[in-house]
Amino acid sequence: MTEPDFVRSFQIEGMNVRGRIVHLTDVADRVLAAHAYPESVSRVVGEALTLAALLGASLKFEGVLTLQTRSDGPLRMVVADFSSPGTLRACATFDHDAVAALGGVPTFADLVGKGSLAITIDPGGDMERYQGIVPLEGAGLAEAATTYFEQSEQIPTRIRLAVATLISRGDAKPHWRAGGIVIQNLAALGGHAAPQPGQDTEEDWNRASILFSTIEPHELVDPQVEAERLLFRLYHEDGVRVFETEPLSFGCRCSADRVSSVLSQYPESDIRELAEDDGFVKATCEFCSATYAFSPDELLRAQAAT
C-alpha cells in the first residue's frame, strides 16, 4: 500500500535528470480543512505546502526550509515550511473582504498581486541561514520557484503543482488533495554529473521537459494515479529509476516555551494590558490553532529569568 502522504525521488535513466514527486492526502486535508480559509486561498496555501515538500526533501541535513510570500494583493502572506525528515505546516494572512470581492475563481495574479517569494534554509545550531528571494509576478509559485533555481543555482528546472477537492462516495464533505512534481537538469552542473561521450544533454533535457509538459493537474492529485504509473507514462521510453518513498506528516513546532519567550519580551505595562477578562494573556498559533495562556505574573517571571 502506498503512503497517503509521501515524497519520492526518481532519476530518468541515461540522462542527468533527477526529480521528486509529492502527494499530500491527510496532510492537505489536515492543514486546509482546519484553517477553513476561502477556497481560492486554500488552493495557494496547498500549492505552497506541496512546494515546501518538493524543495525541502532535497535538504542533505536536518533543517527547516521555509517558503514565504509577501505581496500587495488580498492574499498578503503565505508561509509553508518543511522540517526534516518530513514534517509540514502552512498558514496564510489575507484580507477577508477583498478576497470575497474577487468572487469564486480569481487568478493567482488577482489574489496575490506583486511581491516576492523568499526561500529560507535554516540548518539549525550555529550553522548560517541561507535565504534566496525571487519576484512574485502573478504567474504562480511554481514559476517563481523555477526562476529561483535557474537564477540562483543555475539549474534548469520544471515544476508543476496541483490542488483539488475530491468527494468520495459516502462522504458528506470534500477532502483536500495536493500534489506536485519537479525535474532538474543536473547535467548543467558539470562535475560528476558530466555527460557520457556522445550524449546530447540539451536534447535530453528538451525531451524530458516536453514530456513533463503533458502532465495533467488531475494526475498529481488523483489517488487512483499512482506516482509510479505517472512516471512510467512520462518516461517509460528512457526508463525511470524510482527511489524509496519518504513519508510526510503534519506537525507544528510551536510550544508554550516559545510563545512565552516572545510574549515576555514586552514591557510590563503591555503584558498587563494584554491580559483578557479572565486574567490570562493568550496567543493562538497561526499554523495549528493551538492556544496558549499565561498569567501576567508568569510572563514577568520568565522575563526576569532571562
Segment near Zn ion (CB under 5 A); pick from 15-23, 229-237, 240-248, 278-286: 278-286
Is residue 215 a contact partner of residue 234, using CB atoms and an 8 Å limit?
yes
Residues in 55-74 at the binding interface with Zn ion, rule: CB under 5 A: none
Query: All 3 cell numbers of residue 194?
Result: 558530466
Which residue, 62, 106, 91, 80, is CA-closest to 22? Answer: 80
DSSP state of 128: P
Minimum CB distance to Zn ion, residue 282 (Å): 14
Task: Pick between residue 101 and residue 256 the one whose CB is nearest to Zn ion.
Answer: 256
Among 254, 275, 293, 302, contact with Zn ion (rule: CB under 5 A): 254
Q: Which member of 288, 294, 296, 299 binds Zn ion (CB under 5 A)?
A: 288
Give the burial string for 228-254 (b: 16+ CB within 10 Å, else e). eebbeebbeeeebeeeeebebebebeb
Contact by Cβ (8 Å): 25, 3 = no
Shortest Å, Cβ 88 to Zn ion: 12
| Pairing label, strands 175-185, 130-136 | unpaired
Out of 212, 287, 292, 294, the only residue in the binding site for Zn ion (CB under 5 A) is 287
- The residues near 212 (Cβ < 8 Å, ≥ 6 apart) are 158, 160, 181, 183, 234
Nearest CB to Zn ion, comparing residues 4 and 251? 251
Give the H or E element holding residue 247: strand 240-247
250 lines the binding site for Zn ion (CB under 5 A): no
Residue 258 grid cell: 516559545
Which one of 102, 139, 225, 285 is in contact with Zn ion (CB under 5 A)?
285
The three-state secondary structure class of 12 is strand
Smallest gap, in angstroms, from Cβ of residue 252 to Zn ion?
3
The yes or no reply on residue 252 touching Zn ion (CB under 5 A) is yes
Residue number, 118 or 252, with CB nearest to Zn ion:
252
Among residues 67, 169, 168, the alpha carbon closest in space to that of 116 is found at: 67
Rounded to the nearest whole angstrom, what is the least distance from the CB of residue 34 to Zn ion in the complex?
Answer: 11
Minimum distance from residue 294 beta carbon to Zn ion (Å): 16
- Judged by CB under 5 A, the number of residues near Zn ion is 6
Minimum gap (Å) between residue 240 Cβ and Zn ion: 38
Tell me whether residue 254 or residue 275 sits nearer to Zn ion (CB atom): 254
Least Å distance, CB 288 to Zn ion, is: 3
Interface contacts to Zn ion, rule CB under 5 A: 252, 254, 285, 287-288, 290
